[in-house]
Structure 1
Amino acid sequence: MTTDGRPAIIVAATPTPNGDLHVGHLAGPYLAADVCARYLRASGREVIYTTCTDDSQSYVVTTARRRGVPPEQLCRTSAAQIQQCLDALGVSMAGLPPIDERYRQTVLSFVGALHDAGRFRLRTVRLPYAVRAGAFLYDGLLSGVCPVCLAGSSGGACEDCGHPNNFDELLDARSTLDPEDPVEYREQDILVLPLEEYRDRLTDYFAARTPSWRPRARRLIAELLARPLPDVPVTVPGTWGIPAPFAETPGQVLYPWIEAMPAVMHSTSWSAERTGEPEGAADRHWLAGAEPLLVYFHGFDNVFHWGLVDLVMLMAHGDRYALPSYNVSNEFYDLDGEKFSTGRNHLVRGIDLLSKVPRDLVRFYLALSGPECQRTNYTEADMHEVVTRRLCEPWNRLAAATDRLSARAGSAALPTGPAGRRRAASVAERLRQCYEPANFSAGLAAQTVSSQLVRLCAQAESADPGSLGDLYLEVRTLLAHAAPILVDAAAELTATGQDLSLTGAADQEITPFRMPRLPTTTDSAHWQADRRPAASPAHDEAGNDR
């Protein structure tokens, strides 16, 4: 089990409420963060797994305009869809907190303290301006070519290479809402957060932390540190978002990415209060004195913001806040060899898949095939074949074998031996290494569960009466460590009285028990997800995992 007893705050990337979640989103931060949170709880930690919708993002405006609905209505509808999908996946968070007046006051208090402390700088910058619309363009309102990798990109940051492109940096800039609207550059005074002023502290932090990061995220940070760090907007001349309360920038709104840190502080506090904790200061769980274990899960396209900008937002408060301990990023998940795309109706909505396929099977496949260090691919045929071969068949074969053995052994407790306890401890340690945030890999955990099922099948089918205690101990150990992924099977086992916590020592004796069966299918049509035009944003439309 984990030896660090600090309370943990697990943060999944804040989803943009411009649609529901598709399978690519689920295979990214939301399932991975849930598996990590469940493991840490079973290991004896206090855990808050949280996120909240990112209502101020400009992608809400572009999607609402395209659909002909008010942005406020889109946020409400999308938040409900996102919550429904997370619930269907079995995500163990308290829910999505309301983006209400309490949220806005938390944001304003956080950024107001930085403004009062002189952490922002007033800069005159050149911003793209849509002439006919009479509007400044940034982030989702803007499209063009990344100046670093030359891929097509929205404003703010390039999802292909991860580099930022604020202000006038994006090449061939055009309006997303009206590509024919002429774009020119106009100067504006805005407040910025100067990342370069934090270089020394950032260098020390990354030297200590990035060795545990995934390769491409680690490479991006090295690339960013190899050049002058950019200024990041704190305010922008826009109309959607929280009005900026600063005298220097009248009529502007807070840049949506500046909300991220106080946003998750708000959602952390709200989530804690849903479990019975009394209401208190929104940032109380993030204070340095609370010593939380902070773990972020997000897509690679958010490394610049979650890995660097949000870190500086914490550092800018001096020593008030704890800094993230681990940062787990994921790559894109393709569908039939191509990027998920709402515009081309090339997607599988999460809620559609989960309404047709039992969620334990969905969770196992997405964990096993998820895009941890490189892009991976989802196909319905592969899901059917892999889940049947690597999970359902060996699981149910083991369940049948242990049923036969328990019928012979009866209900008396069976002794375990040193060899069985050593094997159980070895499996537990192997899976512990998969789940610990320092080297987290749900894919390796799912692969380990699969291989151990095959081993235990063979062991059960050739077991002699004197080794049954060892067999049942090893089976229960595997089931307990598979529980963060296979949540419904774990719940069924727990309901029969099995202890699946990961905090105890190996038992000297064990009572035979029945494994629950996993549902199976031999009809691939059962796995077909509905591909009707969906309200789910795809990665090429800014993605919900931003």
Structure 2
Amino acid sequence: MERTMVIAPGPTANGDLHLGHLAGPFLSADVCARYARAAGRDVLFGTGVHFTQNYIVTTARRLGVPPEELRVRSGEQVERTLKAVGIEPDGFVPFDERYVTGVRRFFERLHAAGGLVLRSVPFPYVARTGEFLTDAYVRGTCPVCLSEGCAGLCEGCGHWIGSGELIAPCSTLDPDDEVEIREARVLVLPLEDHREALTAYFAGLAPTMRPRLARLIEELLAHPLPDYPVTLPISWGIPAPFPEVEGQVIYADAEVVAWSMHSSALAAERRGEAPAGEDALWFAESGAKVVYFFGSDAGFAFGVVGVAMLMALGGYTLPEHFVTNEFYELDNDKFSSSRGHVVTGRELAAEVPRDLIRFYLAATGPDFQRTNFTRGAMSQVTASRLVEPWNRVADKAARAAQESGGGPLPVSARSREAAARMAERFGSAYDARRFSLTAAAFTLTEQLGRLDRWEVTAADAGDFCHEVDVFLRCAAPLLIDLADEALPDLTIPAASPATEVTPRVLPRLTETAQ
């Protein structure tokens, strides 16, 4: 059986997950994996937390705690929040010695394969402290889109901006420090060397890439590709195992492939398997498919750098799909932990049933453009489009169960055909090639509305109960608790062979957490 490895790259370990995180890659990856399992496919879902970005250092300074303490605490918070909203990965990447060893070995292989080159790279430098500034340590203007922000992946345009390329850079550690530009010898991945292969690869993905990622790739390939630093002259991170850059660390954003391989290995181990190595599941000969879910601003790291590393090593499977998302806002403003403008998944799950949370995040998800969360809209939408119509459907199912006396009712060929069409519509939204949370939520709303409008009679009660059963199975990747309580299993058959159905009493939905 063909295996699919679903990966939702971990957030930076500098805080808990807010709804903006959940509405993007995490819920999407969970729903995709749940559907694939229900359809009888072999799937591994890996996620976790990323523990080596220097954003952890700057956040810890602001909070007055050691960065090591913050990243451990954040990792625990993320795990609890994922559980609170029903996101259940097979593997969760922690920060431990095994991970560090795996990252170092990955880059040792890449270095031995000739994939890394020693070159001089410009960095902002503070003479007072003798420190180079990278990523979270330096802020300025993006030379591509003129957005203000830190170095690294630009949230505005998605381009990777080297620290030395920022316009008017200033230190975030001490804004009063005078900043100059100095060069340092670091190991880089020369992306331009992979231009031809990357061009062909992304041409193959063009039909399924979402607009912002497609635009980024087009813009990148229109110019020489940069030398991407794999080591940095800073102290926070995993020590680089190369004598020519002694004292440097591996660039956190360069860990993308090693992190992904580790997440897949952990997922397989949790399933009782024993992979021969961290990368064993990624060999092309395995036939496995890789599907990534991430925010559009991570496209350069995972879509360009990660793929180029796999190409440089050779013999590995390349990602088949990148499912990206845009930003999810709170009350028409960006989520911001530092400003207290945030709602975490755990906070909301303490008040609202998680099926309602999952449905609303899907219905308003930022698949293609920025979308917005408000508590008032959530209450209104979940009540009118989910809770109230479902409870009316459950009432009709209960009456059918009572009137049947516990015996089976016939299912017509027309109902079997309708059920097959319904499953097909859900499947087209859930399948990785055209995955869309908003399409899944729309299909759920439309099919539930159809069942709600059905005026059930004794002649078609069997058809009604049959289609409610298929609806629940198809909605189960989103409505996890309702489906678990209502169904004996979560299988979504390719075709419905039912000729009869035994009506049963179904659970009702509530608007407050129990």
TM-score, normalised to structure 1's length?
0.92
Paired residue for 1:328?
323
- Matches of 1:515 and 1:199, distance apart in 2: 56
Instruction: Provide structure 1 residue ranges, at least 5 long, that are not aligned to the other structure.
Output: 528-546
Instruction: Provide structure 2 residue ranges, at least 5 long, that are not aligned to the other structure.
Output: none
Structure 2 residue 361 is matched with structure 1 residue 366? yes
The more displaced of 382-391 and 508-517 is 508-517
Paired residue for 1:534?
none
Report sequence identity in percent: 48
Paired residue for 2:466?
473
Q: Cα offset for 1:290?
A: 1.1
Paired residue for 1:145?
141
- Matches of 2:274 and 2:261, distance apart in 1: 15
Q: Work out which of the residue numbers 9, 14, 35 in structure 1 matches 2:5.
A: 9
Q: Cα offset for 1:499?
A: 5.1
- Matches of 1:278 and 1:197, distance apart in 2: 36
Structure 1 residues 239 and 499, CA gap change in structure 2 (3 angstroms): closer
Does the 8 Å contact 1:83/1:95 carry over to 2?
Answer: no
* Matched letter for residue 375 of structure 1: R
Q: Work out which of the residue numbers 381, 393, 397 in structure 1 matches 2:376.
A: 381
Within 5 Å, which residues of 2 pair with 1:220-235?
220-235=216-231
- Matches of 2:38 and 2:476, distance apart in 1: 9
Provide, for residues 159-217 of structure 1, a one-character-per-residue CA deviation record: whole Å limited to 9, x for no partner.
01111111411111111111111111111111100111111111111111122011111
Q: Cα offset for 1:359?
A: 0.5
Paired residue for 1:541?
none
Q: Work out which of the residue numbers 91, 96, 103 in structure 2 matches 1:100.
A: 96
Structure 1 residues 286 and 367, CA gap change in structure 2 (3 angstroms): same
Q: Cα offset for 1:289?
A: 1.1
- Matches of 2:240 and 2:224, distance apart in 1: 27
Paired residue for 1:193?
189
Q: Cα offset for 1:134?
A: 2.1
Q: Equivalent residue of 2:313, what SS?
A: coil
Q: Work out which of the residue numbers 383, 394, 401 in structure 2 matches 1:399.
A: 394
Q: Equivalent residue of 1:119, what SS?
A: coil
Structure 2 residue 28 is matched with structure 1 residue 32? yes
Q: Cα offset for 1:68?
A: 1.8
Q: Work out which of the residue numbers 39, 52, 68 in structure 2 matches 1:43.
A: 39
Q: Cα offset for 1:95?
A: 4.9
Does the 8 Å contact 1:410/1:512 carry over to 2?
Answer: no
Q: Cα offset for 1:388?
A: 0.4
Structure 1: 4+ residue segments shifted above 4 A: none
* RMSD over aligned Cα atoms: 1.5
Q: Cα offset for 1:399?
A: 0.4
- Matches of 2:9 and 2:252, distance apart in 1: 14
Provide, for residues 2-53 of structure 1, a one-character-per-residue CA deviation record: whole Å limited to 9, x for no partner.
xxx4111110022111111111111111111100000001111111111122
- Matches of 2:489 and 2:405, distance apart in 1: 17
Q: Equivalent residue of 2:290, what SS?
A: strand
Q: Equivalent residue of 2:164, what SS?
A: coil
Does the 8 Å contact 2:391/2:508 carry over to 1?
Answer: yes
Structure 2 residue 234 is matched with structure 1 residue 238? yes
- Matches of 1:252 and 1:413, distance apart in 2: 71
The more displaced of 129-138 and 440-449 is 129-138
Does the 8 Å contact 1:334/1:378 carry over to 2?
Answer: yes
* Matched letter for residue 363 of structure 2: L
Structure 2 residue 439 is matched with structure 1 residue 444? yes
Does the 8 Å contact 1:97/1:271 carry over to 2?
Answer: no
Bigger relative contact order (CA 8 A; separation at least 6)? 1
- Matches of 1:69 and 1:177, distance apart in 2: 15
Does the 8 Å contact 2:40/2:491 carry over to 1?
Answer: no
Q: Work out which of the residue numbers 124, 129, 133 in structure 2 matches 1:133.
A: 129
Aligned pair count reads 514
- Matches of 2:90 and 2:430, distance apart in 1: 21
* Matched letter for residue 197 of structure 1: D
Does the 8 Å contact 1:286/1:292 carry over to 2?
Answer: yes
- Matches of 1:279 and 1:454, distance apart in 2: 46
Q: Equivalent residue of 1:432, what SS?
A: helix
Paired residue for 1:212?
208
Provide, for residues 495-535 of structure 1, a one-character-per-residue CA deviation record: whole Å limited to 9, x for no partner.
xx3554335533122211222111125xxxx99xxxxxxxx
